[in-house]
Structure 1
Amino acid sequence: MTAPIVSQADAEIEKLMGLHPKGYDLSLDRIRRLLEVLGNPHLKLPPVIHVAGTNGKGSATAFCRALLEAQGLAVHVHTSPHLVRWHERYRIGVKGGPGQIVDDELFADALRRVADANGGKPITVFEILTAVTFILFSEQPADVVVLEVGLGGRFDATNVVEKPAVCIIQPISLDHQAYLGDRVELIAAEKAGIMKRCMPVVIGHQEFDGAKDVLISTAERLGCPLTVFAQDFLAYEEFGRLVYQDEFGLMDLPLPRLPGRHQIGNAATAIRAVKAAGYSVTEEIAEKAMLSVEWPGRLQKLTEGRLVERAPVGAEIWLDGGHNPGAGEVIAEAMAAMEERQARPLHLVIGMINTKDPIGFFRAFVDIAQNVYTVPILGSDVGLDPVALAQSAAEAGLKAMPMSSVGQALDAIRERSEGGIPPRIMIGGSLYLAGNVLAENGTIPT
C-alpha cells in the first residue's frame, strides 16, 4: 500500500506550517483559547486513558487499545509523532472491530474548521493538531479514548482533559532536557502534571528511584487512587508465557506479539490501567490482546519490501524508532536475547536528530554490535550528519562508517556478509528514520 501523492489533509497542514511554528512552545493558554472557540470538544469525549512517559508511551497505548478492542469496544487512539503520514496520529474507533486510521476527507475538514476557529492567532502546529484530535474524537462515536501525550505532560496540549478515567506514567529517563529539565526528578515532575485530583493513576516500571518517588508523592498529594508496578501489580516471563498478577489474582498469558522483554512490563501496566479505568480484563480478553497487539516502528520485523530486497539473503531485519539512552538499553537487551536464541552478526543502521544523546544511545550496543552504519534522515533539517554520528559511535566504542542512505548501508552489509551467516540488522535511532524506512520500503502503517 502506498500513500496518495497529495492528500487534502496534507495540503491543509502545509498551509499551517507556513503560518505557525512546528516546534515546541509549552503552554496551555493558546490551546484553551482555541478549544473555547470550538465549543470545548475536549469536555465532550468518552472516558479518556491519558498516557505519558519518556519511553513506552506508544507501546502502552497499543496494549490499551488491544485490551479494549478485544472486548468489542470502539476505541479512539491519538499518538504522536506519526511515522509516514499525519493521518496515523488519529485512529477512529469501530464497534466490534479494529479502529481505522482517519479518513482523509474527515481529517481535512477538521483541520479547516480548527484553522478557521483559530483565525490566524499565534499557535503551534501541534496545538492545532491536538485540537483536531478533540474535534474528531468528540464527534465520532466511541466507547473510550486512549490519548498519548506529545511532550512532557504538564504543559502538553493534550493536558486539558479534566477528569481522565486513568493516567498512565510510563518509564522516565533523560530526553528533551532543554524543555523538561536535566534530571529525572525534574522530568518526572513534568510528566506527573497530567495527574488530576482524585483520578486513578498507574505508574509503570521505573528504573530510577528518584523519578518514582516524585510520581508517587504527586499522586498521593492529589489523592489519586494509585497502583505502582512491582509494588501493586507485576508481570514476568515463565516457561515462555507472561504471568500477570495483581490484587485481583493471576493470569497466565501468551507472550505479547510485540518482541522484547520490556514489553512484558508495558503489557502489565496497560492491563492494570484498563482495570483502573473501570473496564473488565478477563484472561480471555488479555490473551486475545497479547496476540493481536501491533505497534509499527517499534521492534518491527521487516520481511518484505524494496529495502528488504537489498539486504543479504536470509538476513533478519528489525526497525525501531527508539532514540534515547533508555530506549537504546531496551533495544540492545532485545537484540541480546535474540542472539541467545540464534547467533547472528549484529549490524546497526542508525540515524538520529541533533537534540538526542547519540553516545549514550550507542553505549548500550558496545558488546553486541559488530558494525554501525550511520545514515541521514530524509526530509529533516535537524538530522545529525552521518560523519558526526559515526564519530559519536566511535567515541562510544563501536566501529562505525557513515553512509549516504539506508539502502547504501544495506548494500554494504550484503557485501560484507557474502558467504557468511546471514546477519541481524537493526535500523533505528529516530522515529523519523523509521518513517523514512517504512515509506521507502513500501510498507507504511495502515
Structure 2
Amino acid sequence: MSNETVFTNARIVLRDEVVHGSVRVADGMIADISSTPTTTGEDLHGDFLMPGIVEVHTDQVEAHFQPRPKRYWDPIPAVIAHDAQMAASGMTTVLDALRIGTGPTDGNSMARNARTLVDAVVHAADSGLLRADHFVHLRCEVSTPDVVDVFDQVGLHERVRMVSLMDHTPGQRQYADVEAFRTYMVGKGRLTNDEFDAHVVELHRLSAAYADPHRRQMAERATARGITMAAHDDATQAHVDESTALGVGISEFPTTVDAARAARAAGQLVVMGAPNIVRGGSHSGNVAASELLAEGLLDILSSDYVPASPLQAAFLLFARGDLTLPAASRLISANPAKAVGLDDRGSIAIGTRGDLIRVHAYDEAPSEQHPLGVPVPIVRAVWREGARVA
C-alpha cells in the first residue's frame, strides 16, 4: 500500500507558472498536480507550495561547531542544530561548505577540524539524524600548504559532491581592496592592526608557492572523482580562462561583471550570495548580484552566511518586479539542483521528489522594524520526500 499525502488549496509554484490547486505525493515522489483544489487532503489555506530549497554554499555548520573563538561544540550535536536551522529556512537539500587548508591564523586546528566536521556531517546524514538531505562542499584554500593532503583524507566520502577552488590572498579576487581585507580580519579579531601588514606579506609568500600547483592538483582529483567544481571569486578574463581549462562548471561569487560575462560565455553557471540581494550589494565592495541579474548573468543564489536569505531574496525580487516568483524560485531550487547533478529535485513536477515547503507571505507596510516594506516569507512547513521534517 502506497504512502500518500495530498496538499490542497495551495498556490503551487511550478517551473513557469503559479497555479491554485493541489499536489499529491506518493511514496516520496510527486504523483499528480491539479489546477483544481481537492475536497480532501491538507488544506494550505492559499499559502504558497514551493520546491524545497537546494543550498550549495552555506558556511553555517562551522559557526555551530565553533560558536566562540577557540570554543568547540560536540560535532554531531553541532551538525544537528545547524540542520534544524537550515530546514526551518526552507532547505531540503544542503551542501555544507567546509573549508580545508590551514592558513597562518589557523594555528594547528583547521585541518583537524575539517576532518572532524566532514565525518560528522556524513555520519549524521547516513544515520538518518537530519531533516534535510546533506552533502559536503569542500572549500579548498589552494594557497595553503596542506590543502591537498587534507582532501586526500576527506575527499573520498560519497557525500562530497562539490569543491570550490579558492585563493583569498589580498590584493586580488574577493579582496582586491586590501583595506577591505584589513577591516574583515581586524574586525573579526583574528589580527591586530599592527599584525596585519606582516600577515599580508606571509599570505603572498604562500600564494606564490602553493596556489597554482594546488589548484591544478585539486582539479585533477575532483575530475577523477566526478565532483562538481567551482571557481571562487574570479575577477578577470584570465581567472575564468584558468578555471575553464581546469574543467570548472560553476563560477561562485564572481567579483566583476566582466568575470561573470566571461564565465557565462565559457558555459559556467554563475552563483551569487542571496545576502547580496537582500542587503543591496556586496559587503566586500564587489559587484552587486542585482547588477548581474539585470545583465542576465545570474543563475543561482546561495545563503552563504545567512540561512534565511535565499527565500527572502526570492520574494524580494518578486515583490520588486525583477522576476516572476517561478523564475525567482528557480534561482534557489531548480538551478542549484541541476548544477550539482541532483536532477530528481528542485521543482514541483510529476516524478520528482516530494521535497516541498509551505510559505506564507507576511505583508506589512514599511516601518522602522521592517524598512524594506516587502512581503516576508514565513516557512510554515517543510516536507522531504513527502515526510514532514519541519
TM-score normalised per structure 1: 0.29
- The structure whose residues are more often strand, as a share, is 2
TM-score normalised per structure 2: 0.32
Higher relative contact order (CA 8 A, sep 6+): 2
